[in-house]
Amino acid sequence: MTGVTTAVCPGSFDPITLGHLDVVRRARALVDHVVVGVARNAGKTALLPADARVDLARRALDDAGLADVRVAVVPGLLVDYCAEIGATAVVKGLRGGADFDAELPMALMNRHLAGVETVFVVGDAALAHIASSLVKDIARHGGPVDDLVPPGVGDAVRRAFAEAREGDRR
């Protein structure tokens, strides 16, 4: 990847999982600077506010020995953020074919919009069953998620569901 010095690992990170950490670690091995970009997916309603997602990612990266990876909110278009920070590539993880099908249009669109290339890394097969959406679905029903996410994340998700339920009762 000659010439690539900064790459963004974008995502909703709602919440960050062990799968995300694995992908960030692999990205970090490829490029000089990695920025975890906490972005808005127009097709999803987030459980956690952006600042909470950033805080959880920050703590998880520090705990995982990835303190040199920056975490930031992507306020608008991903390609605009890449231009702003001088990132020339996006790194995304693939768990399987469904991920590729979802990622390909975005990769092509980001290249169309601004020439930003996407590099796909294959995540650890042992983590391929982990998805933020499943973590939330399990936690919503009181199931165990702590072995799917970095320390502290399960508590944050459970708290968010408890607060949402409390809000519904008012």
27 is in an annotated binding site: no
136 carries an active-site annotation: no
141 carries an active-site annotation: no
130 is in an annotated binding site: yes
- Grouping H, G, I as helix, E, B as strand and the rest as coil, residue 2 is coil
Among the listed residues 25, 58, 132, 136, the single catalytic one is 132
CA gap 30, 88 in Å, rounded: 13
Nearer to ligand PNS, 11 or 154 (CB): 11
165 carries an active-site annotation: no
112 is in an annotated binding site: no
92 is in an annotated binding site: yes
| 159-166 contact pairs (CB < 8 A, 24+) | 160/47, 160/48, 160/52, 161/47, 164/47
Structure tokens at 161: 């569901």
Q: How far is the CB of 17 from ligand PNS (least distance, A)?
A: 10
Distances from the Cα of 49 to the Cα of 5, 15, 45, 58, 157, angstroms: 30, 10, 10, 14, 11
Site residues for ligand PNS per CB under 6 A: 10-12, 39-41, 44, 74, 77-78, 106, 109-110
Among the listed residues 20, 26, 28, 58, the single catalytic one is 20
Structure tokens at 4: 């690539």
Which residues are documented as binding site for ATP?
Answer: 12-13, 20, 93-95, 103, 127-133
Known catalytic residues are 20, 44, 95, 132
Instruction: Tell me the binding residues.
Output: 12-13, 20, 44, 78, 92-95, 103, 127-133
